[in-house]
A and B are shown apart, each in its own frame.
Chain A
């Protein structure tokens, strides 16, 4: 790096170091505070009767027996709730043409997916509420269910929303260069594949949950929830329950996994808040595992027909694809279910130099649970399609898959530049990352070993992925579309009388270590030992406004706000210190909790003495000095829609052609997330993400039958990666700080989940190639592998 020296050119005690998270101590002693741990006086419990059919007209609901059960306090149907809740519609104005239908917390008249909440029971305990739910009789006249997204737009398919002419929610086309001419060239090789990406879901270990309390004397709602975006929820409750925004407080404490599952607005949670309002008593709702499978947003569900043309030198002449994605009966509110398809169009092939690019996405309604943003939105599809086609093309023209990437990846010195789809790209390092990967995995040696093993009937394969990753989104992401979702975040940092520092930030903590990195930044920038930093996040009453956690923005946006606030507090403190010490601010510094001479470092005054003087003994200060020992700063990305990061990953697998089982033997991930604030946290984010990606590639699928019945809504039937079948994962870093901030941090949370599926798919195909077989469907279950091999 060139340019003026910054704070990062001198050694730092905390930023960049593997400092342990303070939170782990608490969690390891069983002192976490998760939603179900909250007990309030007079608290009631909610349970929901959910739709047993995928599509039908509700003709009658009999709740009398349920209401009569001792311990039941209230029973609400959709009609009971409708007068109290303003309906919501999941559209964004910048996704031109996106449409959805008004939604209510409980279905009114028509039910549109298995698991849609129909009736809410409020009782003295969850057990009684469930007993009562079992006594509710709902009459439903079944309607034809739209389940196959590939035929959802056919004229013969029923239309889910009567007011619409078709089941199309949104369509977008990107068309750059002259794609048809490029495919028609006679010097190119064309490869065509159909990819299928199954529906899967987040399976957060802590299910969704909320405790709502309403104080009628002050018209105030407090909503504790297991979620990622407190300020967004504050707006939503105010708007849809008719409360002044300042009378709604949303608190999110420990969150037991989120991954985007807990960033949306769920009918059962709004209904819970409404029940608290109507009853004037606290109400708790915690989803059970079955409810989670039925109603937590699902993800992916795409069919992509893709084509690539490469010339004899391996250069990409054109890339084109059509994507269909099924989103359930509504576009999820307020983030919309069209963002994933939009990202697929934006990101596919984005690491590569490409002049001709055409992509079309159709987002369609169906009678299944809603599909929406989950970790690495659109990334697994984009990366698997581009790199799947590229690796297949490399084999067609007899070129090594690393070599073909070297020839097509955007050069590391080409930035700023833009992708074929028009995304602004800067500060990326595709080549350096690829070379780091190739070194780490000992690529050539492994290839040779595989060739030898193949002679013994052992089928191993390597698959790579080069990726870009969306992080640090700007207001161009949601704000421009009219959603109440902040892209900026704020931090307030205060010097306490005891000399400690208190940070409150609008980004939230779900285990990724937000609180720890904020403490690291505050401690280094302001100048106190990290043990003297306390961090508060996740409370709309006490933290600055901000977006919370989504799209890997905690470190890059929340961290930068914290840095700026810490610097501002430092200036404030030095101004006061200069007066007390009869010096000048520029001649002083703060180190290890004391004001020191900038030169020589001699201690002049403890911060605790300074703070006590300001807070308790103002009489000792000149009257024209008006000290402030608290500073707030907000930060947003301004000149880019997102700050992209990049990475390179590789999987090594062994496929058993007899059973169809795929074992991931090794995985390597190189990630360039800019400035690394805490390498242990980044490594573990990447590893956790890779394992989720391997889950999507090999195991996880929400299986529906033709009637729209979810077939595997238990943890015993829905497979997730467990310790035994996961490999050790090598993580390497390349650090190219983003120029958009002083801190230079980008996100790392999406990487593994976005990249691993494509890498695993490429590896499986590499292993299958000598057997004349290929698979482009995820999850790659043993049965599908055997089908690809022609064995079943």
Chain B
């Protein structure tokens, strides 16, 4: 099981070339090889959304993509978002609303919420809930997350 390939990719603006086992999934590579442990693993079968990251502008499940498939891709993780201004308003809104408890779902939740906000989504609670419905949160009741997203869309928070 030692088949490996060399890939080149850009993660949070940093480009590198890496040799990875062909069976390794993307989120394991990001967490274990790059040490970017902000992205989390909740199920490893594409259901919980904890591993959601941005790959070439799309939100993907890092557990359903192999690292080799990301060859040439541009990836942003929660650490990358934190280093830029992107998502700053959402981060303050999440904090003010206590839209996270243990914080384990949060990296995936934030990526998914940001995707909605940046695409110009409306402050429509049912639509937000539908958009978030692939992300599992066991601690909050989801409501504070919906509140936070609405706060940002309606301009109630400063970044």
Contact = CB atoms under 8 A, between A and B. Distances in A.
Interface of A: 20-21, 23-32, 34, 36-37, 39, 127-128, 131, 202-207, 254-259, 288-289, 510-513, 680-681, 683-685, 687-692, 714-716, 720-724, 726, 728-729, 752
B23 A127 contact: yes
Nearest to B131: A723
A507 to B, nearest CB: 15
Contact of B138 (A26, A128, A257, A726): A257
Contacts of A206: 40, 42, 102, 104
A23 B23 contact: no
B145 A723 contact: yes
A289 B44 contact: yes
A36 B132 contact: no
Nearest to A26: B103
A259 B98 contact: no
Contact of B98 (A39, A207, A681): A681
B143 A28 contact: no
Chief secondary structure at chain B's binding surface: loop
A127 B21 CA distance: 11
A687 B105 CA distance: 16
A681 B107 CA distance: 20
Contacts of B75: none
Interface of B: 1, 21, 23-24, 31-32, 35-45, 47-48, 50, 77-79, 82, 91, 94-98, 100-107, 110, 125, 128-130, 132-146
A729 B145 CA distance: 13
7 contacts: A20-B98, A24-B95, A254-B103, A255-B102, A691-B140, A722-B133, A722-B134
Given A39-B35, A205-B137, 12 more contacts: A21-B95, A27-B106, A29-B78, A39-B32, A205-B139, A254-B103, A256-B103, A511-B104, A683-B98, A687-B141, A687-B144, A690-B141
Nearest to A722: B133
A127 B97 CA distance: 39
Contacts of A255: 102
A205 B133 contact: no
B82 A30 contact: yes
- Best-surrounded residue of A255, A687, A689 (most CB of chain B within 10 A): A687
A716 B44 CA distance: 11
A205 B104 contact: yes
A511 B146 contact: no
Contacts of A513: 98, 101
B120 to A, nearest CB: 20
Nearest to A694: B141
A222 to B, nearest CB: 19
A512 B143 contact: no
Given A289-B44, A511-B103, A716-B45, A28 B139 contact: no
A21 B138 contact: no
Contacts of A729: 141, 143
Given A23-B103, A289-B43, A723-B132, A715 B48 contact: yes
- Best-surrounded residue of B1, B137, B141 (most CB of chain A within 10 A): B141
Nearest to B77: A30
A724 B141 contact: no
Contacts of B32: 39
Given A684-B140, A715-B45, A254 B102 contact: yes
Nearest to A714: B45
Contact of B101 (A39, A207, A511, A720): A511
Contact of B143 (A24, A128, A207, A687): A687
A726 B142 contact: yes
Given A30-B79, A728-B125, A688 B101 contact: yes
- Best-surrounded residue of B47, B78, B136, B138 (most CB of chain A within 10 A): B138
Contacts of B43: 289, 714-715
A688 B139 contact: yes
A650 to B, nearest CB: 16
A685 to B, nearest CB: 8
A511 B100 contact: yes
B98 A726 contact: no
Given A205-B48, A723-B133, A684 B42 contact: no
Given A205-B137, A726-B129, A728-B125, A31 B95 contact: no
